[in-house]
């Protein structure tokens, strides 16, 4: 035998290092096994979830029933409260409906306006709106200056509006304030001087002693008050017409006037 055709023999460590043959599954067979495993898992899951689905279905049914009961209860409560305490939205809707009705009933001519006025008056009289009027059964008040030929009609109506509304020019308002302050000053001055002129036994003391003591104790205070009052009088005289201006006050004149009133016996 030729040495080149002689088969080789592998022994020892070289034989152990040779690669061993491996077996591989057929691809079609692997797909079939995977598909069957998934079918088994789906079957198991469907069998386990059927009970859970029933429980979920019952739970959803109960929750829907509870929601319907609660909504019906809330609707009944809202209706009863709306009947007892009308809300602003319902009042607005009612007002809109009434406005629409008034718009439909709005007269389009003078004759229709007269008919509508008579109808409204009859309705108000039937409801008793004219039973307790303030001037019912009393004569209509008249103003003596209304028919005065020496008073212009425009001036008369303007004066009446001013009187009824309580409005007046600024100088008239300031005149009232100045008069009030002047009256208060004279009242305080008389009260203060009376304490010095009249004793506890109501006997009249000498004028020189009473006035001297009063000037020593109170002249500075009342002098300051009089300066403020004269400042107000100056402001008033600037604003008012010349015919209604007021003179400034003098402390000595006011003091002598008050002293005469105190010491003069009343008849």
DSSP structure string for the chain: --TTSSPP---THHHHTSPPP-----HHHHHHHHHHHHHHHHHHHHHHHHHHHHHHHHHHHHHHHHHHHHHHHHHHHHHHHHHHS--HHHHHHHHHHHHHHHHHH--SSHHHHHHHHHHHHHHHHHHTTTTT-TTTTSPPP--TTTT-TTS-HHHHHHHHHHHHHT---HHHHHHHHHHHHHHHHHHHHHHHHHHHHB-TT--B--HHHHHHHHHHHHHHHHHHHHHHHHHHHHHHHHHS-GGG--PPP-HHHHHHHHHHHHHSPP-
CB 182 within 8 A of CB 249: yes
Residue 222 confidence (pLDDT) = 92
Neighbours of 39 (CB within 10 A): 10
Q: How confident is the model at residue 90 (pLDDT cuts 50, 70, 90)?
A: low
Residue 232 confidence (pLDDT) = 94
Mean pLDDT (the chain) is 76
Residue 248 confidence (pLDDT) = 93
250: left (phi over 0), alpha (psi -120 to 50) or beta: beta
Report DSSP state, residue 204: B
Statement: residue 152 has pLDDT above 60:
yes
Task: Collapse the DSSP code of 5 into the 3-class scheme (helix H, G, I; strand E, B; otherwise coil) and give the result.
Answer: coil
Residue 14 confidence (pLDDT) = 52
Which has more pLDDT, 31 or 231? 231
Statement: residue 8 has pLDDT above 80:
no
Q: What percent of the chain has pLDDT over 90?
A: 16
Statement: residue 147 has pLDDT above 80:
yes
Q: pLDDT (tens digit, 9 = 90+) per residue, 22-41?
A: 555 545 445 445 555 555 55
Q: pLDDT (tens digit, 9 = 90+) per residue, 206-226?
A: 667 878 888 888 889 999 999
Q: What percent of the chain has pLDDT over 70?
A: 67
Q: How confident is the model at residue 163 (pLDDT cuts 50, 70, 90)?
A: confident
> In this structure, is the dihedral angle defined by the CA atoms of residues 168, 169, 175 and 180, taken in order, positive or negative?
positive
The per-residue b/e assignment along 217-249, b for 16 or more CB within 10 angstroms, e otherwise, is: ebeeebeeebeebeeebeebbeebeeeeeeeee
Residue 201 confidence (pLDDT) = 42
Neighbours of 189 (CB within 10 A): 21
Residue 21 confidence (pLDDT) = 56
Residue 40 confidence (pLDDT) = 57
Residue 68 confidence (pLDDT) = 86
Per-residue pLDDT, averaged over 46-67, amounts to 77
Residue 202 confidence (pLDDT) = 47
């Amino acid at each position: 035998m030729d040495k080149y055709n002689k088969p080789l023999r592998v022994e020892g460590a070289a034989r152990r290092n040779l690669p061993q043959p491996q077996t591989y599954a057929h691809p079609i067979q692997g797909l079939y096994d995977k598909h069957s495993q998934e079918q088994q898992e789906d079957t198991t899951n469907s069998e386990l979830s059927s009970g859970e689905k029933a429980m979920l279905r019952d739970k959803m049914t109960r929750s829907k029933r509870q929601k319907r009961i609660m909504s019906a209860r809330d609707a009944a409560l809202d209706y009863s409260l709306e009947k007892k305490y009308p809300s602003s939205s319902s009042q607005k809707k009612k007002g809109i409906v009434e406005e629409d009705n008034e718009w439909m009933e709005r007269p389009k001519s003078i004759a229709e306006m007269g008919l509508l006025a008579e109808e409204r008056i009859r309705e108000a009289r039937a409801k008793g709106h004219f039973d307790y009027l303030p001037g019912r059964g009393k004569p209509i008040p008249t103003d003596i200056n209304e028919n005065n030929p020496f008073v212009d009609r425009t001036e008369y109506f303007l004066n009446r509006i001013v009187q009824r509304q309580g409005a007046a020019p600024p100088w008239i308002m300031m005149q009232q304030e100045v008069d009030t302050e002047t009256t208060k000053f004279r009242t305080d001055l008389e009260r203060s001087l009376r304490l010095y002129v009249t004793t506890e036994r109501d006997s009249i003391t000498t004028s020189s002693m009473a006035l001297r003591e009063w000037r020593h104790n109170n002249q500075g205070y009342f002098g300051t008050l009089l300066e403020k009052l004269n400042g107000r009088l100056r402001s008033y005289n600037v604003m008012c017409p010349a015919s209604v201006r007021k003179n400034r006050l003098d402390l000595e004149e006011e003091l002598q006037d008050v002293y005469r009133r105190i010491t003069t016996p009343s008849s």
